Structure 1
Amino acid sequence: MNTAEKTAEAMNYLQKYAPREYGKYLEFTQTLGGKGGLSPITLELILVALAVMSQCDMCITLHIENAASLGASREDILQAAFMSVAMGGSPKLMYMSYVFEALEDLFD
């Protein structure tokens, strides 16, 4: 099972066993995404950087896929991911392997 499938499985589990909490979480994140003037692609690139900063491999894959589906290029995604490395140093650099894996799946 790849990371995207694991992510979908986790979301399905939450929807089944914690629908109220998961629903509130989705409502909260959708509210944040609807405020201000940032475009959807910019928001996803920010989420790529935050996913690397949080060292969440499932989040990295999910947000890279979302950014790519909105038109982000490999270079856009790498730039966003490397911003986390600039702020977080070596530990974040190690998580770039998840970025490279997700990009290879999408762009090659």
Structure 2
Amino acid sequence: MAKSYKEINQDQRQFGSAYRKASPDTMNAFLALHKAAMVEGAVSIKHKELIATGIAIAARCDGCIGAHVAAALKAGATKQELIETIDVAVLMGGGPAIIYGTQALAAVEELSAE
């Protein structure tokens, strides 16, 4: 059965909300770190999201792939930029990155169709 990154993203938002209620200090600290790291600076938000997508593939994190592909698209990344990001992740991650890289491409296709 194919993964739905729309569903993964929806589920993760619910899981994150529940975790924030259970552990607000930790989740709020993580969200503050995310906000601080993902600001426009010498490296654009688009490029930061592309970097995060590559790391998500190498880390084999479905929720991370869904979130960062969506954020990269929102920040203006093109399909080709995401494919080349997948290429670099495969280079750095080997065989397991092929599996998650192909799944990241499925996320690009699904989430760019919105």
**TM-score of the superposition, structure 2-length normalised?**
0.85
1:36-95, Cα deviation, whole Å (9 max, x unpaired): 510110100000001001100110010000000111111111111221110110011011
Partners of 1:61 and 1:98 within 8 A in 2: no
- Residue type matched to 1:71 in 2? G
**Which consecutive unaligned segments of at least 5 residues does structure 2 have?**
none
| Structure 1 match to 2:50 | 45
* Partner of residue 12 from structure 1, selected from 13, 17, 21: 17
* Partner of residue 77 from structure 1, selected from 71, 78, 82: 82
Partners of 1:48 and 1:80 within 8 A in 2: yes
* Partner of residue 107 from structure 1, selected from 103, 109, 112: 112
CA distance in 2, matches of 1:26, 1:65: 17
* Partner of residue 28 from structure 1, selected from 7, 26, 33: 33
| Structure 1 match to 2:94 | 89
Equivalent pairs counted in the alignment come to 108
**Which consecutive unaligned segments of at least 5 residues does structure 1 have?**
none
**TM-score of the superposition, structure 1-length normalised?**
0.89
